[in-house]
Every structure is written in C-alpha cells, then in structure tokens.
Amino acid sequence: MTFSYNKLWKLLIDHKMIKKDLMDKAKINATTMSNMSKGKSVSLETLGRICKALNCNIGDIVDFIND
C-alpha cells in the first residue's frame, strides 16, 4: 500500500509553513515525517494531530494509492 501526502505538502505551502513548523505544531517526530515523505503509512492519531493543527480533515491531507 502506498499513500500520497501531496495534498498535505500543498496545504503547508498555503499556510506558509515548512515541515519543521508542522512537526512542532502537531508534535510529530522526524521518523514519522520521513515516513510520510516516502509515502508510507502513519497512524490515525498522527493524522488527527495534523488535521487539528491545520484545521482540516484527513481527506484534505492524504490519498490512498491502489498499487
């Protein structure tokens, strides 16, 4: 399974944030951010913290890519 976080990266640009800002605001560690950059899965809890930090829904930040 592969996930696309392209929507998240675009949302960060819209919010004038960098990945480090998101890590601080959503309390995400570097390993999790690296996994997302590689299209790997992360926990729903992590996605929830990102959504809370950016005031959005899960569908606004991630897509499932059917291999």
Mean pLDDT per segment of 10 residues, for the chain of length 67 residues? Answer: 93 96 97 95 96 96 90
The whole-model pTM stands at 0.90
CATH superfamily of 2-65: lambda repressor-like DNA-binding domains (1.10.260.40)
Environment class of 11 (CB within 10 Å of its CB; exposed 0-12, middle 13-18, buried 19+): middle
Q: How far is CA 43 from CA 14, 30, 47, in A?
A: 24, 14, 6
Domain ranges (residues) in the chain: 2-65
Q: What is the pLDDT of residue 1?
A: 74
**d(C-alpha 18, C-alpha 1), whole Å:** 26
pLDDT at 49: 97
